[in-house]
Amino acid sequence: MGIDIANQFAPSYKISDDKIKVVNELKSLAKKSKEVWLASDEDREGEAISWHLCEVLGLDTDTTKRIVFHEITKSAIKEAVANPRTVNMDLVYAQQARRILDRIVGFELSPVLWRKIAGSKSLSAGRVQSVAVRLIVEREREIIHFKPQSQYKVEAHFHAKDIHQKDVSFKAEYDKKLANIQNAEQFLENCIGANYTVGEITVKPARKSPSAPFTTSTLQQEASRKLGYSVSKTMQIAQRLYESGLITYMRTDAVNLSEQALKNIQEEILHSFGDKYYQKRNYKNKNENAQEAHEAIRPTNMADKVAENPEWQKLYNLIWKRTMASQMADAELEKTTAKINISTQAEQLTASGEVLKFDGFLKLYLEGKDEEDSDDEKQEGMLPLLKSGQSLDLQEMMAIERFSKPQPRFTEASLVKKLEELGIGRPSTYAPTISTIQNRNYVVRKDKEGAKRSYRTITLKNDSIQKNTLEENTGAEKSKLFPTDLGMVVTDFLKLHFASVMDFNFTAKIENEFDEIANGKLKWNKMLEGFYSPFHELVANTMENAERTSGVRELGIDPESGKRIFARIGRFGPMVQIGESDDEDKPRFATLRPTQSIETISFDEALELFKLPLSLGKYNDLEVNVAVGRFGPYVKYGEQFISIPKGEDPLTVSMERAIELIHAKSVEDAPIAHYQEKPVTKGKGRFGAFIKWNDLFINVPRAYDFESLTEKDCEELILKKLDKEANRYIQQFPAEKISVENGRWGPFIRFQKKMLKLAPKPEGGKYTSEEAAEISLDDIMKMIEQQLPGAFDKKKTKKKTTEKKETAKKPSKKTTSKTKTKK
């Protein structure tokens, strides 16, 4: 797509090379047909697809029939066919405006990042993705700078007789938190020799109501909590369920259900659970601009509970249960609170419990909780039947040190929830946004191991007080989103120079303007004009005046050389350096470990990095070194690289330990078979299990038993690989590091390590393998130049210049945490 900004942002569309054949087939079919009906999805993207089809096939948008349905079922399609309409151009314009605006932001911002942020030529920015990264970066900094405050929680365990004279035990708590250990100790001391009695007992009824049926975002959140699915996985499975006619359309922010659906749900509840479990409910959309006439996500047939495979089944069951529960009766509970009197002081303890009197919708479904919500509602058990005034027997009372917590890091699902709360993005954009920020290496999803922490307890038992210090594991996290150093540097730069683009309210306002276009209240090109002029001026000003940045953070002075130590982004990622570009001696560099960050690395940790590579001596006449590379720490033995196990500090690796690892590797690398008198070895790498033969790495599919590969298995895998390699290359030019190869989608160019497209043939269409073999080297190089301008320019810079690029500019003496960029 091209954009003519001078001509009111008029877009020009070009058919992708790989779609020309499909379009030609559609044109042929359209010519043979009396009438063409359009049935793409009923959202803005779907409406745009219908309009594009009209344009490509030469159909009149005023007369071509457009039908929509929310589910792929016979009844829904018959209903749609009976009520055709024409293409809604307001929806098309809304989608077009979003696409053009996002393309403008990406096209104009990305070159600024290439020029102004050191270390990368492949950075990109986007209107929604940059704001999403900002949320993650700011949450990370809150966590980094958070100082836990300790308080003491008091709980007591009692024995008693209930009203039926049965022995019972229960727990009571002091409602207030105590600020320090002195206050906690004083509270327990005041309880020495006390008598405990039941005070006022309060019994109150309570009700819990079910949640609304799923929207796109709530489905993504619940599938993450309950099934552990990523946002993209949830949407992929939901797409398959929709295409199979099992659920309604899965990109929606509506919570309403059709009358026919409500009737079907009622029938299923009455049949499965009975009349008392049914309660009709009408849910209203919180978002006034919930897209068009969508329904919530629901099964198309409530009596159908079977999907095609286990992963589909799990998501389908979740949707089925949530839909059913949305029309079921409230759960009825009884909450009991008993005050416990302490004879030696006026303060009271509180015991509470609840009893489920009628399960209602809970018979079928209980909504999951995010980590940030989990402390708000405590699950309470039953409280024994006690009577006011009765005596209680204290078993023990404890004051336990508890620490305040920062807000947790985002999961994919909780990020979607936050974006929705802020009005940023729409159902169709959540999953692509989250995938993009990870693919760009601005954010990584990973687990974090917990750390040991001491906490104190004070125990009152048998009128004696005892103090203890215990240990707990804290801070462990699973599948959380962490910003990379690159993500932090880019976010800081954009916040400084493009505050409006990074503003949450501004981004939400843009979304509302798209909604106004969809509702026919705003002209799409007027909206773009209002955005573009100030934005373009900002881009030009930043390109002209902003200083180049690499997120430099000064750590201190090297005690050996007296030179300054910095952490920053380098050409190959986060690193630390000793010295500066204008020093007489060359600066020294060390790569940060995967667990380290520019933001948090300490002076001592930086010095440790310069202890590597470390020579351990010789073993069997070969040098043994310990070092850290891009993929973590390793032992280098001669020309062999042996990974050091995860969690093991490379600086603690002795010669004895290195020899252990060398021996283990030699056993692991021992031949498991031979083919053509050459050894076959096996191993596991970043991309899974493999065998190696004659310098050829061959992936081992899951169909094979990797632990028990036979000679026959190895021969089979090698022959398949050789056959594939024989058909891989169409043309090779080793001197230029260029090859033309067969790929899954047809021939392509490989230049150095990059995969590039072959331009279409002059007459249109894609090259076959036979035709690609006839393309000259000059023509191939021209195709490469079109995609990578300057790819064959001769390097004029000398080695010294390259070295300068790898060093930091000398920051001002005031810089302690990051470089300040001047406007």
The share of the chain scoring above pLDDT 70, in percent, equals 93
Mean pLDDT (the chain) is: 88
pLDDT classification of 820: cutoffs 50, 70, 90: very low
∠ Cα 481 612 810 (to 5°): 75
d(CA 603, CA 471) in angstroms, rounded, equals 28
- How does DSSP assign 329-381, residue by residue? PPEEEEEEEEEEEETTSS-EEEEEEEEEEE-GGGGT------GGGTTTSPPP-
Strand duo 65-66 + 10-12: pairing: unpaired
d(CA 749, CA 758) in angstroms, rounded, equals 6
- How does DSSP assign 97-117, residue by residue? HHHHHHHHHHHHHHHHHHHHB
d(CA 433, CA 430) in angstroms, rounded, equals 5
∠ Cα 100 105 107 (to 5°): 90
Catalytic residue list contains 637: no
Beta bridge partners of 198: 340
- How does DSSP assign 432-494, residue by residue? HHHHHHHHTTSEEEEEE--EEEEEEEEEEETTEEEEEEEEEEE--EEEEEEE-HHHHHHHHHH
From residue 461, how far is each of 181, 188, 194, 395, 399 by CA, in Å? 18, 10, 12, 7, 12
Fold identical between 150-209+332-405+443-478 and 216-329?
A: no
**pLDDT tens digits, one per residue of 163-176:** 888 999 999 999 99
Location of structure tokens 């499965």: 272
Q: What is the pLDDT of residue 205?
A: 94
Architecture of domain 150-209+332-405+443-478: Distorted Sandwich (2.70)
| Mean per-residue pLDDT, 380-401 | 91
Which DSSP letter does residue 405 get? -
3-state secondary structure of 642: strand
Q: What is the pLDDT of residue 379?
A: 55
Choosing from 174, 249, 634, 637, which is the catalytic residue? 249
**pLDDT tens digits, one per residue of 531-586:** 999 999 999 999 988 888 878 889 999 898 889 999 988 877 888 999 887 777 88
| Mean per-residue pLDDT, 620-648 | 87
| Structure tokens belonging to residue 325 | 């529960």
Q: What is the pLDDT of residue 290?
A: 53
pLDDT classification of 806: cutoffs 50, 70, 90: very low
Beta bridge partners of 77: none
Q: What is the pLDDT of residue 821?
A: 35
CATH number listed for the domain at residues 216-329: 1.10.290.10
Q: What is the pLDDT of residue 358?
A: 94
Class of the CATH domain delimited by 2-87? alpha beta
Location of structure tokens 């906690």: 184
∠ Cα 609 614 616 (to 5°): 155
Strand duo 573-578 + 553-557: pairing: unpaired
**pLDDT tens digits, one per residue of 471-514:** 999 999 999 999 999 999 999 999 999 998 899 998 889 989 99
- How does DSSP assign 177-211, residue by residue? PBSSHHHHHHHHHTTTT--EEEEEEEEEEEEE-PP
Tallying the residues shown for the chain, one arrives at: 823
| Mean per-residue pLDDT, 789-794 | 77
Radius of gyration, CA atoms only, the chain: 33
| Mean per-residue pLDDT, 447-469 | 94
Question: Could you state, in order of their start, the residue ranges of all structural domains in the chain?
Answer: 2-87, 150-209+332-405+443-478, 216-329, 729-787
Q: Which of 291-295, 594-598, 631-635, 736-740 has the highest mean pLDDT?
A: 736-740
pLDDT at 239 over 70: yes
d(CA 429, CA 43) in angstroms, rounded, equals 12
Residue in 322, 354, 341, 352 with CA at minimum distance from that of residue 257: 322
d(CA 240, CA 315) in angstroms, rounded, equals 11
**pLDDT tens digits, one per residue of 313-322:** 999 999 999 9
Let me know: does 428 contact 47? Beta carbons within 8 Å.
Answer: no
The share of the chain scoring above pLDDT 90, in percent, equals 55
pLDDT at 60 over 60: yes
Which contiguous run of DSSP H or E holds residue 89?
A: helix 89-116
3-state secondary structure of 618: strand
pLDDT classification of 287: cutoffs 50, 70, 90: low
Q: What is the pLDDT of residue 184?
A: 96
d(CA 251, CA 657) in angstroms, rounded, equals 55
